[in-house]
Amino acid sequence: EQDVNEYRKSLAIRVSGFDVPKPIKTFEDCGFSTQIMGAIKKQGYEKPTSIQCQAFPIVLSGRDIIGIAKTGSGKTAAFVLPMIVHIMDQPELQKEEGPIGVICAPTRELAHQIFLEAKKFAKPYGIRVSAVYGGMSKLDQFKELKAGCEIVVATPGRLIDMLKMKALTMTRATYLVLDEADRMFDLGFEPQVRSIVGQIRPDRQTLLFSATMPRKVEKLAREILTDPIRVTVGEVG
C-alpha cells in the first residue's frame, strides 16, 4: 500500500502557466530531424520520459520553462534536443560569434556529462560544443573558446572568468539553461549566475531546471523568466 502510494506520487505531473502546449507522446511527435532521430535511436531511447513529454513542445514553441523533477528523470535531453533545433533554426546567427546555447551547471562532473550528451546530438550538424569548468587550464579554455563554438557548457565561476578574459561574447546567446539551479545556489553561485544572466540579451529563451524550488530559486525564476510554464514531475519538496 505504502509503496503504491509512493509510486503514484513519483508519477504525479503538475503543469501551470498559460497557453500550455499539449504534451507529446513519442519522439516522432516532436518533428525532430532524421539526424536527431538517428542520435536518439543510437542512445537507445525508445520513448520520451515524463519531463521530456511535457518539456519538448513547450521549449520547441519558444516558451520559457521551469522544470522540476528528480535526478535521473531525463532533464538533460529535455533541454539539449530543443537546443539543437533552436540553433539550426537561426541561420542568420551563424554569421556572428560566440555561443548561441549557454548551459550553466553546478559542478565540473555535471558540466562534463552535459557536454558529452550535447556533443552526441550536435555532432551530425557540425555544431561545436565547448566545456568550461574549473580544474582545467584557463589558457587552453581561452584558446578553445576563441576558436568558436555554438554551445558552451560551464560552471558559473569559470564562465565569469572567461567572460572577463574576453574569451567569448554573449551577443549571439539566445538559449540559456540553468541546470540544477538549487545546487548552484547551495554552492554559493547566485552572484555569478545573476551576472551571467545579466550579460545575455533579455529576449533570450530561458530554461530553469531544479530538483527543488527553495525561495531564493523561486525569486530568481520570477526575475529572469518570461511567462514561464512550470512542469513538476513527482512530489518535490
The answer to whether 59 touches 136, Cβ cutoff 8 Å, is: no
E strands, 41-196, are 65-68, 101-104, 129-132, 151-154, 175-178
| Closer Cβ to ligand ADP, 75 or 172, answer by number | 75
| Closer Cβ to ligand ADP, 110 or 167, answer by number | 110
Q: How far apart are CA 16 and CA 68, in angstroms?
A: 12
User: Residue with the closest Cβ to ligand ADP?
Assistant: 76
Give the three-state DSSP class for 208.
strand
The answer to whether 77 touches 42, Cβ cutoff 8 Å, is: no
The answer to whether 104 touches 178, Cβ cutoff 8 Å, is: yes
Q: How far apart are CA 166 and CA 75, in angstroms?
A: 30
Shortest gap between Cβ of 153 and ligand ADP (angstroms)? Answer: 13
72 binds, among ligand ADP, Mg ion, none (CB under 5 to 8 A by kind): ligand ADP
Which window, 40-48, 58-66, 75-83, 154-162, contacts Mg ion (CB under 5 A)?
A: 75-83
- Site for Mg ion (CB under 5 A): how many residues? 1
Which window, 1-9, 14-22, 72-80, 150-158, contacts Mg ion (CB under 5 A)?
A: 72-80
| Residues at the site binding ligand ADP, with contacts judged by CB under 6 A | 45, 48-49, 52, 69, 71-77
125 binds, among ligand ADP, Mg ion, none (CB under 5 to 8 A by kind): none
Shortest gap between Cβ of 71 and ligand ADP (angstroms)? Answer: 4
Choose, by CB under 5 A, the member of 60, 69, 75, 221 that binds Mg ion: 75
Q: How far apart are CA 214 and CA 78, in angstroms?
A: 22
| Closer Cβ to ligand ADP, 52 or 174, answer by number | 52
Q: Of 90, 88, 68, 87, which Cα lies nearest the Cα of 78? A: 68
Which window, 46-54, 74-82, 128-136, 165-173, contacts Mg ion (CB under 5 A)?
A: 74-82
Q: Of 6, 70, 43, 37, which Cα lies nearest the Cα of 231? A: 70
Binding site for Mg ion (CB under 5 A): 75
